[in-house]
Every structure is written in C-alpha cells, then in structure tokens.
Chains A and B, each alone.
Chain A
Amino acid sequence: MFRQASRLLAQTLRAGLRPFSSDLPAAPTSDSAFIESWKKVIPNIEPPKTPSNFLRPRPATPTSIPSKITVNFVLPYASELSAKEVDMVIIPATTGQMGVLPGHVPTIAELKPGVLSVHEGNDVTKYFLSSGFAFIHANSVADIIAVEAVRIDHIDPSLVQKGLAEFTQKLSSATTELEKAEAQIGVELHSALNSALSG
C-alpha cells in the first residue's frame, strides 16, 4: 500500500503539479453582477470563471509622472518583455514612429510593420514587428501586442533583398486582386524590413 502511495506521489510530482506563477490572481476580483444573475437563473451549477479572476493587477495611476515606463511586450507564443521598466520606447504606429515617454497621454495605437526600439539607459534593443496594437495607459504602462517579432540582429539581409525582389516581381506580374493584394503586402513588409536594417 505504501509502495502504491509513493508511486502515486512520484507520478503527481513528475506531472508538474504546481500552480502556475504566470497566472496567480493576486487580487482576484470577479464581476459580482454576473455571479448574482447566474445564481438566480442557474442555482445548481457553479458560475464559470472570467478573465478578471486571472488578471494580473495593474499599478494605479500615480499623481506625479513616474521616472520610468513599464513595458509589457507580448507575442502569441511568448511574453518578450513583462513589466520591464525602461526609459523610452519608440513604436511603429501607422501614423509614423511614435516615441513614448513616462507620462504619455493614454493612447490606443495601431501598428504597422516596423521597428520597435526599447531604450533603457544606454542600451537600445530593436525588434522588428509584423503588426499589432499598442496601448499606453494613464499609469505609464505600455502594452505592445504583436503577431510576430524578431530581433533586428537575427534578420539576414540577403534574404530580405531576395524577398523584396521576388515580391516586386510578383506585384508586376499579378493578375487577380487577391494576388495583387498578397504581393503588395509582401513588398510593404520587405521594404519595411530593408529600411529597418539600414536605418
């Protein structure tokens, strides 16, 4: 019996039975109105959880402008930067490169393919983003959500040139609207990559 118990214990430990630190509800708030209305209509089943139960708490809006801006840079398959304190970020909004300093007005910005540079002291890290959104909140927290991002030093310039030539050629020889649109996207992306590498 003890052998079985120790085997079970080893199994559960091996399976990684630990609560996720990436998901701790430090201040679990829930929508009480939702729970109330649920309990009235469906008293037998437990109400389901909502994202607000799992939301990581955000700092409150400070009265004075803070010295650093907190950046959360997330991608679908990884969180590149999570609550990192930096001096400035420059984001490639569709209206042009936008510099964000602590105390920036709250903004929702749509991003185009371009370079995101994170300035901290004297280090500058540059990422090439495919596209996405950036939210800047009143409490000097910037959320940047991109679909794909690569560090500039990981990009191969020769492949960029090749891709640009290929897509320009496809654009000129495109017949249907769909092909034209696809080729156009390819050209825009590769020229952005090109300017990112050179600039």
Chain B
Amino acid sequence: MAMAALRREGRRLAPLISPQSITAVRSSVISQEQAPLGLRSISTQIVRNRMKSVKNIQKITKAMKMVAASKLRAIQVRAENSRGLWQPFTALLGDSPSVDVKKNVIVTISSDKGLCGGINSTSVKTSKALKKLTAGPEKETKYVVLGEKAKAQLIRDSKKDIELSITELQKNPLNYTQVSVLADDILKNVEYDALRIVFNKFQSVVSFLPTVATVLSPEAVEKEAESGGKLGELDSYEIEGGETKSEVLQNLGEFQFSCVLFNAVLENACSEQGARMSAMDSSSRNAGDMLDRLTLTYNRTRQASITTELIEIISGASALEG
C-alpha cells in the first residue's frame, strides 16, 4: 500500500523531473513544500554554525560564573569582617540621612567591569534621586565617582557636577591603606558639609540593597549637636587627646569617612561578584535553552532533507519503471 502511494507520488512528480533542471527543481520543490516553515535544507550548515557559537557562549558564561563564585568567596569573608568597622561610628554619631546642609557630595561606588546585572544602574539611579532630594535654593550637590560604569552613565547628563572620578580600584586586592589614601584625596579636594556614600550592600548572593551612608563634616556635626537628637548627646562626651575639641572631631570625621568608605567598597565588590554570578548563570541557562531549540530545528531539517532525497530517488525509480 505504501509502495502504491509512493508510485502515485512518483507519477505526479515525474513530468517535473528532467536532468538539466533537477537542481533548480529540487530547490523550488523543497521551498514550495517547506515555504511556510522557512529555508531549511541549505541551512543545516547555518544551524550547525549557530549551534557551535551558542555552545561556546554557554561554556564561556559558565566559566565566568565559576570565576565570579570563587572571587565572591574570597571577598565575602573580608566584607563580613569589615562590618564591625562602621558600627561604633553610627552608634556614637547616629545616622542622619535627612540632614539639611548646603554642600552635599554624593560618592557613588560602582564596578569597572560590566556583565554584572543591574547593580550599577541602581547605584546611579539612587545617586540621581539623592541629588534631586538634596537640591534646593543655595544648595549644591556634587558627585565623586568610583568606577567606570557609573562614570559612563553620569557623565552623560551631569558632566559638570562630577568633581572627581577614580577608576581601576580593584587592580590590586582591596585593602584599608589604599582606601584611606583615596579618602584623604577626596577630603582634600572636595568641599563638603555632608558626604553621602551610595553603594550596594551585600545581603545574600541574590539580594543587593542600595544603601546610602552619611558622613558629616565637623561643622555640620556641631550644628546638628546644637539642634539635638542623637548628636545632642555628643556634648556629654569628654574629649581626650589633641589640643582642641574641634581638632579631635575633625580627625574623627576623617577616620569615620575612611572606615565607612572601606566597608562600602568591599560590600560593593561583593555585590558585583554576586550579581555577575547570577547574570552569567541565567545567561548560560538561556544559551542551553537556545541550544536545545536549535538541536530540534537541526534534526528536523536533517530529517526533512533525507525524506526529500528519498522521495526523489523513489519517484525517479518509479518513473523509470512505470
């Protein structure tokens, strides 16, 4: 019964088959048959190329994920250990993000390398929102940018507001000396009443919280102490050391800034590695899915071309017979 069907097929196609036009006919017949599904016979090569490149991408992203995971393990320990550093300062001086001062400086911390998900964009969004929040008559807000990615985004619309930009922070492993030199640089070159450090706090491998830590200049601390609140108790503290109270408070402010900045930089680096891990993980999963789909397409194409070859052969044979 199958042979009868094939013979009928052969008789139908027989008038179309002639030696010169065989290649043209083949492609036209095939494209007629498979036009609704797109070109496929000549595209087994194309599909195979795509599969090879997608497989390479999958391997690369998987390797990047492993690298990010190992870097994360190393830096997570250090970030965890540095968490005790800012607690005493906040316990003493309180945390006053809603302080109203004339000169605000927003220190945005970001990464130098990309492919780390959306953490740099969230930092920049938070910085811009803070700038809007602290704007007002007679007030000015400037940026200090750490990291290439935030610089690229902020330079587009706030080029004149960027006081200082520092890149290649993580060329050598992060340590306190490097960060304190950086803090010294910032404090010397930038006039400020309040410094707001914007970074991504590392809560877990999948969760990074945008955080803003506020450090006040000694004059702002004096002003806040007079107005009361947490800083009002500052006067009850005896000051030991140094010649004057203001000198000690200035040293305290600078020390606080370098400690908070150190913790912030470490947390941001952790968040960067964690975000990169999850970005690369989803990327390799997507590549895997795409590879599955391409494999199915490839097999379908292969089988279809085999079937058409068979049909041609059989129809040719039956045409000769009958």
Contact = CB atoms under 8 A, between A and B. Distances in A.
Interface in B48-85: 69, 72-73, 76, 78, 80-85
A59 B259 CA distance: 23
Contact of A50 (B81, B211, B281): B211
B236 interface: yes
14 contacts: A12-B206, A15-B69, A17-B205, A31-B95, A34-B97, A50-B212, A50-B213, A51-B95, A135-B91, A135-B237, A143-B91, A143-B92, A145-B85, A145-B89
Contacts of B90: 51-52, 55
Interface stretch (A71-79, A157-165, A182-190): A71-79
B303 to A, nearest CB: 26
A195 interface: no
Classify the interface of chain B: helix, strand, loop or mixed: helix
Interface string A57-93: 0100000000000001011111100100000000001
Given A76-B176, A77-B78, A138 B236 contact: yes
Interface of B: 69, 72-73, 76, 78, 80-92, 94-98, 125-126, 129, 132-133, 175-176, 180, 198, 201, 203-206, 209-214, 233, 236-242, 248, 251-252, 255, 259-260, 262, 277, 281
Contact of A107 (B82, B132, B211, B237): B237
Given A45-B129, A75-B85, A112-B241, 10 more contacts: A20-B83, A38-B133, A50-B97, A52-B90, A55-B87, A72-B87, A77-B176, A107-B238, A107-B240, A133-B252
Contact of B125 (A45, A51, A132): A45
B146 to A, nearest CB: 17
A93 B241 contact: yes
B238 A106 contact: yes
The 10 residue pairs across chains A and B that have the minimum distance between CB atoms: A143-B88, A110-B241, A94-B241, A79-B84, A109-B240, A76-B176, A34-B98, A74-B84, A52-B95, A33-B98
Interface residues of A, number: 58
A131 B270 CA distance: 28
A72 B84 contact: yes
A190 B11 CA distance: 105
A179 B233 CA distance: 42
A110 B86 CA distance: 17
A51 B237 CA distance: 22
A91 to B, nearest CB: 9
Nearest to A132: B255
A2 B83 CA distance: 39
Contacts of B87: 55-56, 72, 74, 143
Contacts of B252: 108, 110, 133
